[in-house]
Amino acid sequence: MSATNFSTTTAATVSTTAPAATPTAATPTAATGIAPVLTAPPAPTAANSPALQAAIARGAIAILGTGSHAPKNIVTNDDLARQGIDTTDEWIRTRTGISSRHIGANGEATSDFATRAAQAALADAGLTPADIDLIIIATLTPDLPMPACATLVQQKLGARADIPCFDLNAACTGFLYALDTAWAMVASGRYKHALIAGAEKLSSILDWQDRNTCVLFGDGAGAAIIGATRARKSTFAGSHFSPLRAGTLPPEIIGVRLYCTPDTELLHIPVGGSLRPHTAGTYAQRQHYVQMKGKKIFKIAVREMERAAREILEQHNLTTNQIALVIPHQANRRIIDAIAKNLNYPPDRIFVNLDRYGNTSAASIPIALDEARRSGRVHPGDTTLFLAFGAGLTYGSALVRW
């Protein structure tokens, strides 16, 4: 069943880090089969490096603006049931918390969503495409195998032709990977303003006969502009290294922690790459669609996102009471509720828009962030915590002060 055959409703569009030493390899424990957090030796001379000092002089590295976009077509749970999928609104809502999702039309592509989100982020930051000198798109559904989706966004934005543009794929954790990458590249002094976006057209890789997967996902994009701010003096904490230092509190990216515990079959697309190219047989067996083992993923997602939260707070000497808002990956309401309970976060400090978007993978956190900011849930001086988990299995956390 094609995703674009739905009867739908129309809606409005909605580090600075020291150079890292090589981490020590981790070995899965016998009890859990999960590798412990990677550790890295300290980099004692990094704090005095010319590149870092130059970045500090320019100002703290911060998120300067955000934007988001979702396709106009809204598909409700009832729409799915009417199209012959073996499900009901109650079945989906009670198991996932999802009521509807945005689905792109034929002819719409991931780069279209990313471009519109980027335009909104640029306007929010008071910048133009000419001000951007780095573009990173986090996606697992690029328009084409090549060229990179980022180059198509560059073209559609009318950005300069002398800038680097590339994609990265860390699945649902992709936006945090892009954030950390852009943060480090801007802090190097070689780039002034980076555009990052999480963007997906997941409807193009879903089996619309499989109710265990097709009801979960949606399409859309969220973007952010990363650059230096001269508002206040920087404190410059590192990604996996130094804790937040005492002093002034500028708007800035405080820290990012990224992880990957190898388990490549819990959530994957079995064919379509160099290992197993598409064939008539794999198409007939519907192996070119997303496949997942939801129950196992649920347990690991709760455990590892909780761990990522605790470790980044400990690293930067913060407590849960100092976090104004938590923006988790929007995958499943039960996962979000379990993390909130385990971390003792009250519901009013957890941002959730899962009910209206479903799981948009790499776009999940930046769409939620943009909505949170525009709805007045984020204020100057607030510290927000991002948590994500995705295929790989990748996961991570980030702290951002506004």
> Which domain does 383 fall in, by range?
3-9+47-401
Q: Is residue 34 part of a domain?
A: no
Average pLDDT over residues 309-326: 95
Which CATH number is 249's domain given?
3.40.47.10
Beta strand 193-201 pairing with 100-102: unpaired
| Separation between Cα atoms, residue 231 and residue 34, nearest integer Å | 42
60 falls in which pLDDT band (50, 70, 90)? confident
Residue 269, pLDDT score:
85
- Whether residue 272 is contained in a domain is answered as yes
Q: Is 268 noted as a catalytic residue in this protein?
A: no
Distance set, CA 306 to CA 179, 287, 390 (Å): 20, 32, 14
For residue 142, is it within any domain? yes
Judge whether 102 lies within some domain: yes
Residue recorded with tokens 């000419």: 130
Domain for residue 33, yes or no? Answer: no
Q: What is the mean pLDDT of residues 33-56?
A: 43
Q: Which of 284, 252, 254 is nearest to 271 (CA)?
A: 284
Residues 193, 124: Cα–Cα separation, whole Å: 14
**78 CA to centre of own chain:** 28
Both tokens assigned to 85:
């999928």
Mean pLDDT confidence for 181-198 = 96
DSSP secondary structure letter of residue 175: H
- Secondary structure (3-state) at 98: coil
Provide the pLDDT confidence category of residue 249 given band limits of 50, 70 and 90.
low
Q: Which entry of 73, 169, 332, 359 is annotated as an active-site residue?
A: 359
Tokens standing for 212? 């265990």
Q: State mean pLDDT over 112-131.
A: 98
Percent of the chain with pLDDT over 70: 80
Give me the number of domains the chain comprises: 1
Indicate the burial class of 51 (C-beta count within 10 angstroms; 0-12, 13-18, 19 or more). middle
Classify residue 136: in a domain, yes or no: yes
Residue 35 lies in a domain: no
With beta carbons less than 8 A apart as the criterion, state whether 137 and 357 touch.
Answer: no
Which residue's entry shows tokens 């980022």?
A: 150
> Is residue 18 included in any domain, yes or no?
no
Task: Examine the residue annotation and report whether 193 is marked as an active-site residue of this protein.
Answer: no
Question: Which of 172, 193, 240, 332 does the annotation list as catalytic?
Answer: 172
Q: pTM, whole model, 2 decimals?
A: 0.83
Q: Confirm whether 172 is a catalytic residue.
A: yes
Q: Which of 149, 329, 332, 353 is catalytic?
A: 329
pLDDT digits (tens, 9 = 90+) for 142-189: 999 999 999 999 999 999 999 999 999 999 999 999 999 999 999 999
Neighbour-count burial of 100, counting CB atoms closer than 10 A to its CB (0-12 exposed, 13-18 middle, 19+ buried): buried
Number of Cβ within 10 Å of residue 307's Cβ equals 18
